[in-house]
Amino acid sequence: MDKMKMHSPDLSQDNVAKIRALFPDCVTEAVDEQGNIRLAVDFDQLRQTLSDHIVEGPQERYRLDWPGKREALLTANAPIAKTLRPCREESVDFDTTQNLFIEGDNLDALKLLQESYLGKIKLIYIDPPYNTGSDFIYEDDFAEDYREYLVRSNQAGDDGKLIANTDSNGRFHSDWLSMMYSRLKLARNLLASDGAIFASIDDNESANLKRLLDEVFGEQNFIDTVAVEMSTTSGPKTVNAQQGQIVKNVEFVHIYRKSEKFDQLRHIPLLDGISSFDTHYSVFMHDDGSIGSLADELSADPQILADIERYKLMDRGSFSIKNIDKLLAMSPAANAFIEAHLQQIARVDRPPVSAEGQITQVGRWVPFEVDHRTYFLTTLSNGTLQALMPLSLNFRMSDDYKPRFGRSVIRGDLWKGFHQDMGNVAKEGGMPFPSGKKPVRLITQLIKWANNSRDGVVLDFFAGSGTTAHAVLAQNAADGGSRKFIMVQLPEEINASTKEGKAAAQLCRENGLEPVLSEMSKERIRRAGSSVIEGECHKDWNRDVGFRVLKIDSSNMSDVYYRPDEVSQDELFGQVDSVKPDRTGEDLLFQVLLDWGVELTLSINRETLHDKTVYSVDGNALIACFDTGVTDELVKEIAARAPLRAVFRDTSFARDADRINAEQLFRQLSPGTELKAI
Same domain for 298 and 254, yes or no, is no
Instruction: Kindly report the pTM of this predicted structure.
Output: 0.87
Same domain for 30 and 172, yes or no, is no
**606-662 pLDDT, tens digit each:** 999 999 999 999 999 999 999 999 999 999 999 999 999 999 998 898 788 888 999
Q: Where does a domain end: 368, 397, 426?
A: 397
Same domain for 143 and 259, yes or no, is yes
Looking at the domain assignment, is residue 402 inside a domain? no
CB-based contact 470:478 (threshold 8 Å) = no
CA torsion, points 523, 525, 527, 528, in degrees to nearest 10? 160
**264-277 pLDDT, tens digit each:** 999 999 999 998 89
Mean pLDDT for the stretch of residues 472-481:
97
Model confidence at 146, pLDDT cuts 50, 70, 90, reads very low
**555-607 pLDDT, tens digit each:** 999 887 887 666 655 554 445 678 999 999 999 999 999 999 999 999 999 99
User: How many residues does this entry show for the chain?
Assistant: 678
Model confidence at 157, pLDDT cuts 50, 70, 90, reads very low
Helix (H, G, I), strand (E, B) or coil at 663: helix
Mean pLDDT for the stretch of residues 401-409:
88
Q: Round to whole Å and give the CA distance between 514 and 500.
A: 16
Same domain for 243 and 151, yes or no, is yes
From 143-147, 166-170, 252-256, the region with the lowest mean pLDDT: 143-147
Model confidence at 155, pLDDT cuts 50, 70, 90, reads very low
Same domain for 390 and 471, yes or no, is no
What is the per-residue pLDDT for 666?
A: 96
Same domain for 266 and 277, yes or no, is no
Model confidence at 151, pLDDT cuts 50, 70, 90, reads low
Establish how many alpha carbons lie within 13 A of residue 228's alpha carbon, considering only the half-sphere containing its beta carbon: 24
* Cα first-last separation, the chain: 10
Same domain for 425 and 470, yes or no, is yes
Q: What is the DSSP string of 78-98?
A: S---EEEEE-GGG-BSTTT--
Looking at the domain assignment, is residue 24 inside a domain? yes
Q: Is 357 buried (19+), middle (13-18) or exposed (0-12) by CB count in 10 A?
A: exposed
Q: Where does a domain end: 551, 572, 607?
A: 551
Asked whether residue 55 carries a pLDDT value surpassing 70, the answer given is no
Same domain for 654 and 635, yes or no, is yes
Same domain for 486 and 612, yes or no, is no
Q: How far is CA 653 from CA 1, 610, 678, in A?
A: 12, 15, 12
Mean pLDDT for the stretch of residues 169-176:
89
Same domain for 234 and 111, yes or no, is yes
CB-based contact 142:75 (threshold 8 Å) = yes
What is the per-residue pLDDT for 148?
A: 54
Same domain for 456 and 591, yes or no, is no
Domain count for the chain, please give it: 4
| Better pLDDT: 361 or 315 | 361
What is the per-residue pLDDT for 22?
A: 85
Looking at the domain assignment, is residue 585 inside a domain? yes
Same domain for 28 and 176, yes or no, is no
| Better pLDDT: 565 or 234 | 234
Residue 87: domain span? 76-270+413-551
